[in-house]
Structure 1
Amino acid sequence: MQDETGVLGVNLHTILVVEDDAVVRTLTLEVLEAFGYQVFGAEDGDTALSILRSEQALSLLMTDIGLPDISGLELAQQAQTLRPDIAVLLASGYDAQQNQEMQDAVVRGAVATIRKPFQLDQLRSTLQAMLA
């Protein structure tokens, strides 16, 4: 039998992870797969936008705020234009300005945020709450 968590507890949600640091991206993808999510990775905004424009089903966009070609906030805005129902999780380990930009986005109700480095339990509970 299949329910919202899928067959045998496998999660049916699909997450696109956008992270320019290859090690961080790989580790995040591995953790999300271990949580039971289907995952896709992108190293930059252009690659992410190609996936967002495709027919690929996506439940959530998890993006670093400090990407080299487009900010995570800009990517989030474009993602929500392309896919109005997509949830967005911004991740940052950077400066106060980026943190303020993230908080402003949260106040507008557009996204949720998580600070890097994040704890696995914190990531899991944040994703569960966003995808409930």
Structure 2
Amino acid sequence: MNHFRWPLALLFTFLSHTNSFCQEKKKGYINEAVIGLVKLAFEVEDVERLEIHCDPKNYGSKAIPERLGFTHEATLKNRVKDSEGTYRDAMIWTLFREDYRAERYKNHLFTAFDIVNQPIKTIDT
């Protein structure tokens, strides 16, 4: 029997809704949130790998991991069911600890809080 110790990893999945946030699109909110999560994952939580899954037809969503230095690993066919029940493809993007470049994320200050709203750490690389 083989025993594997999987490294700590996080998965982000981008979901988009065509009606709810139309006026908020293209304002960079998701980009800023992902930057904060990437910094938190590598600089506070000490994860080894991050994954982003997104719809290849959603050009805005797939631009985020491209812009932030993630590597496109694969596009999985008919992997995710949408709200109409249609299966859609899913792009898989990864960023490993050894490929993380803190300078790409500089000028993005954030503070991480614990469950009782106490600051854990302020990141300002």
* Short-chain TM bin: 0.3 to 0.5
Rg larger in structure: 2
Of structures 1 and 2, the one scoring higher in RCO (CA 8 A, sep 6+) is 2
Structure 2 length-normalised TM:
0.37
| Higher percent of residues as strand | 2
Q: TM-score, normalising length from structure 1?
A: 0.36
Structure with a larger share of its residues in helix: 1
